Structure 1
Amino acid sequence: MGGEVRHWNADVNGISLHVADQGPADGPPVLLIHGFPELWLSWRHQMTALAARGFRTLAPDLRGYGDSTVPDDPAAYTIFHIVGDLVALLNHLGLTKVMVVGHDLGAQVAWHLCLFRPDMVRAVVNLGVPFFPRGPNSLTEAFAGCDGLYIMQFQAGMKASPF
């Protein structure tokens, strides 16, 4: 039904990205961008369905996740780095235009890919996170009053952590 998932790594943008790839190599490419705290595996069902319909699906583990490189410096995780990794991956594969699907954190990455490199995006579908422009406050400050939001619960847990 779409073939087996192929796993490989691409050395791009100074790191190694793990990529799960399914479907015909010459099929229309769909870039699937996972959320937090997820991996390529979050897309396994969608990959199979799309591959069965002739699409090539590419689901990388973003930097810092899964089998991709985990840079030590927190400054290496800006949206510019993450989008740069995906642009470098597409260039590595010789893909000039892709359909992009993002979920959660991946939706923010997808929105920024569209903003930074609209020439590389044929279409975009985002799940769970609407576009919102950068504001004067950090996300932590912007969501400070949202105690039930999982992002804020994670932050609170980190502050209480002995690590």
Structure 2
Amino acid sequence: MESIRHSTIPTNGINLHVAEIGDGPAVLFLHGFPGLWYTWRHQMLFLSSKGYRAIAPDLRGYGGSDVPPSPSSYTIFHVVGDLVGLLDGLGVDKVFLVGHDWGSIVAWYFSLFRPDRVKALVSTSIEFKPRHPAVRTVDFLRQKLGDDFYIVKFQEPGLAEAEFAAADTSKLLTKIFTSRDPNPPRRSKGSAGFGTLPEDPIPLPPWLSEDDVKYYADAFDKTGFTGGLNHFRALDLNWELTGPWTAAEVGVPAKLIVGDLDISYNTPGVKEYVHGGGFKRDVPLLHEVVVLDGVAHFLNEESPHEVNRHIYNFIAKF
């Protein structure tokens, strides 16, 4: 890890913290919630050893990057603009994109808006989500998954922040990272986020160390969770602004990697879309969907060797 370089890059009116290692074709890694550049540590070390330049920023609102206060500063255009400016600042023309969770959503939009900057895309955990032509995103989630769905609850400013602030950050993050029930309650009644925490310590799996949890917890204890939550709070604004991209196809080569125990993959309707032809219709250059057995949402940390292999085997084709 000592060989990973860290810098601050001014872009799009803010400063992004960026981790980087290696030389060669560039791979841009985009983390999700509640993640950081650190989410990609295994992939960065592996791909740099294979002759690639691995670049992993903290997205705006996270870690060492700036945290604008207003949710309106977190639209997908802001975030993609940050990344285009980052690439310009680093002197990189085209990249392989690799996203996880919210970072996958960003990667899909990046590929819609600026396919000229993308060689190929690997999405982990999250499929492409085409814009609904008539229903706002939060209303759609409410209709489909109920008022208690965590993203719906995240819309109220301060509610989730208060719950997270009252919790032990390390325990909260451990619960999120280790969740692997394919059909859990979406959240507990009365909870703004991810339900109540157990009184006893949560056992750590072999792939998640105390040092790993501490790295994440220290970062969120310093910045709070508002920056990350504001990405969710811009969902309806994203819906308004992306009207011109209704029914647009993603026109870059793509691959999806998911775990069969991933809560997102087991959300009603996702498997039917991914495997039933809709996904291939919207992403016509889709090469492959890989489902990892016995693996949950944070697959790039839980099963790094498999994920590394699948990423490398795909991008090496281009």
Task: Return the TM-score normalized by structure 2.
Answer: 0.47
Counterpart contact for 1:3–1:23, Cα < 8 Å: no
Residue aligned with 2:99, SS: strand
What is the percent sequence identity of the aligned residues? 48
Confirm or deny that 1:5 pairs with 2:13.
Answer: no
Task: Tell me the matched-pair count.
Answer: 158
- Please give the alpha-carbon distance, in whole angstroms, between the structure 1 residues aligned to 2:41 and 2:152: 29
- Please give the alpha-carbon distance, in whole angstroms, between the structure 2 residues aligned to 1:141 and 1:158: 11
Quote the RMSD (CA, aligned, Å).
2.2
The one-letter code of the counterpart of 1:15 is: I
Which of 85, 91, 96 does residue 93 from structure 2 map onto?
96
Residue aligned with 1:143, SS: helix
Counterpart contact for 2:6–2:19, Cα < 8 Å: yes
TM-superposed deviation, 1:130: 1.0
The one-letter code of the counterpart of 1:139 is: T
Instruction: Give CA-to-partner distance per residue, 1:117-160, whole Å, 9 cap, x none.
Output: 1110001000111112222333322222325x9xx225437759
The one-letter code of the counterpart of 1:19 is: V
- Please give the alpha-carbon distance, in whole angstroms, between the structure 1 residues aligned to 2:70 and 2:155: 18
The one-letter code of the counterpart of 1:99 is: F
**Larger helix fraction of residues:** 2
Counterpart contact for 1:13–1:88, Cα < 8 Å: yes
Counterpart contact for 1:36–1:104, Cα < 8 Å: yes
Which of 68, 76, 99 does residue 71 from structure 1 map onto?
68
What corresponds to 2:135 in structure 1? 137
The one-letter code of the counterpart of 2:53 is: R
- Please give the alpha-carbon distance, in whole angstroms, between the structure 2 residues aligned to 1:154 and 1:112: 19
Could you say which structure has the larger radius of gyration? 2
The one-letter code of the counterpart of 2:20 is: D
- Please give the alpha-carbon distance, in whole angstroms, between the structure 2 residues aligned to 1:88 and 1:140: 29
Residue aligned with 1:101, SS: strand
- Please give the alpha-carbon distance, in whole angstroms, between the structure 2 residues aligned to 1:140 and 1:52: 42
Task: Return the TM-score normalized by structure 1.
Answer: 0.88
**Counterpart mapping for 1:36-75 below 5 A:** 36-75=33-72
Instruction: Give CA-to-partner distance per residue, 1:37-70, whole Å, 9 cap, x none.
Output: 1100000011111111111100000000111000
Instruction: Give CA-to-partner distance per residue, 1:62-104, whole Å, 9 cap, x none.
Output: 0001110000121100000000000000111121110000111
Give unmatched runs, 5+ long, in structure 2: 163-318
What corresponds to 1:146 in structure 2? 145
- Please give the alpha-carbon distance, in whole angstroms, between the structure 2 residues aligned to 1:117 and 1:126: 16
